[in-house]
Copies of this chain bind each other. A is one copy, B any other.
Amino acid sequence: MTVARARDSRSSADVPTPPWAPQPRGGRAGRSADKPQLSREAIVEAAVRIIDAEGVDALSMRRVAQEFGTGAASLYAYVANKDELMELLVDWVMGQVVDRWDGPEPTAQNWRDLVKQSVRLSRDVLVEHRDLAKVFIGRVPFGQNGLHAVELQLSILRAGGLPDNIAAYAGDLLGRYLVAEAIEEHMWRSRFPDVSSSELSEAMGGIRDYLQSLPVEHFPNLVELAGPMMYQENEGLDRFELGLEVIMRGLESFVDSKDSPDNVR
């Protein structure tokens, strides 16, 4: 339902259709009028519902079609294939991010906080939908909504005074970090499905104990750091914030610096 709003809130006319994306297929004939209308948006919403309830692995064309009381073949009038559906899912997430974003105009003073805020927002959207982050793997979010999100991120990064080549790449870097983090968090959570999230650190204790049981003469560092390695509290937010801070400090070091690729490598 939010999909339609997300689309309307940003006119789709101002984004020319990219050369690689097929135009939406049409499709309506003898409508039974009682079962929910099929459409690209409705299909994406159904897919999100399924992922929320059963996870990405349970997402199949048959399963989506079942949500409309029909067979998988019917979907192919609106979506080229499953891969295109995945791409639409990616763009749906980007739409959520753009919709929920409200931050001040980026400046050289607030850019650091704004970058963090936007990355946190994206993470929040992802972890709200189980392992939805998996569909981002190997995909560039250059859909209608994705472009707006990228533009937003670029505007923040450039307000901080990052050189162009760093700003251009920082979005990629942060995006991949956040996707990987969301997937990993889901992995831990699903590996111990019975424990409540607040006790997840307790479940990881088993692995910590194993690491500490390794022969200390061969694995001195692993044995000693088993504790901090397996430390996860506050639903993984500590780890997330730590990595985010590392990347931010790295990016920051390029602000107003003259070191171009020479200093790199």
Residues of A within 8 A of B (CB): 14-16, 18-19, 116, 134, 137-139, 142, 147, 150-151, 154-155, 158, 164-173, 176-177, 179-181, 183-184, 186-187, 206-207, 210-211, 213-215, 218-222, 224-225, 227-229, 231, 238-239, 241-243, 245-254, 261, 263-265
Q: Which residue of B lies closest to A171 (CB)?
A: B229
The distance from the CB of A56 to the nearest CB of chain B, in whole angstroms, is: 11
A168/B228 in contact, CB under 8 A: yes
Query: Chain A at the B interface: mostly helix, strand, loop or mixed?
Result: helix
Number of identical monomers bound together in the oligomeric complex? 2
**What 10 A-B pairs have minimum CB-CB distances, sorted nearest first?**
A250-B250, A154-B221, A246-B250, A168-B228, A249-B250, A176-B180, A168-B229, A249-B253, A168-B225, A138-B187
Q: Write 10 A-B pairs (CB below 8 A) sorted by A numbering.
A: A134-B137, A137-B137, A138-B184, A150-B222, A155-B221, A158-B221, A168-B225, A169-B242, A246-B251, A249-B249
Question: Nearest residue in B to A186 (C-beta to C-beta)?
Answer: B138
User: Contact between A173 and B221 (Cβ–Cβ < 8 Å)?
Assistant: no
Starting from the known contacts A138-B187, A176-B181, 9 additional A-B residue pairs (CB-CB under 8 Å) come to A138-B186, A139-B187, A147-B214, A147-B219, A151-B222, A155-B220, A242-B264, A245-B263, A249-B254
Is there an interface contact between A228 and B142, defined as CB atoms closer than 8 Å?
Answer: no
- Bound-state Cα–Cα, A215 to B12, Å: 12
Most chain B CB within a 10 A radius of its CB, from A214, A229, A242? A242
Inter-subunit contact B239/A264 (CB<8 Å):
no
B19, A206: Cβ atoms closer than 8 Å = yes
Cα–Cα, bound, A241→B260 (Å): 12
Measured between beta carbons, the chain B residues less than 8 angstroms from A176 are 176-177, 180-181, 184
Chain B's nearest CB lies how many Å from the CB of A103? 15
Q: Of B151, B211, B225, B248, which is within 8 A of A250 by CB?
A: B248
- Which residues of chain B have C-beta atoms less than 8 A from A241's C-beta? 264-265
Contacts of A147 in B (CB 8 A): 214, 219, 222
Q: Kindly state the separation between the CA atoms of A247 and B252 in the bound complex, as whole angstroms.
A: 11
Bound-state Cα–Cα, A228 to B207, Å: 43
The answer to whether A151 and B246 have CB atoms under 8 Å apart is no
Query: Which residues from B are CB-within-8-Å of A261?
Result: 238, 242, 245
Contacts of A214 in B (CB 8 A): 15-16, 147
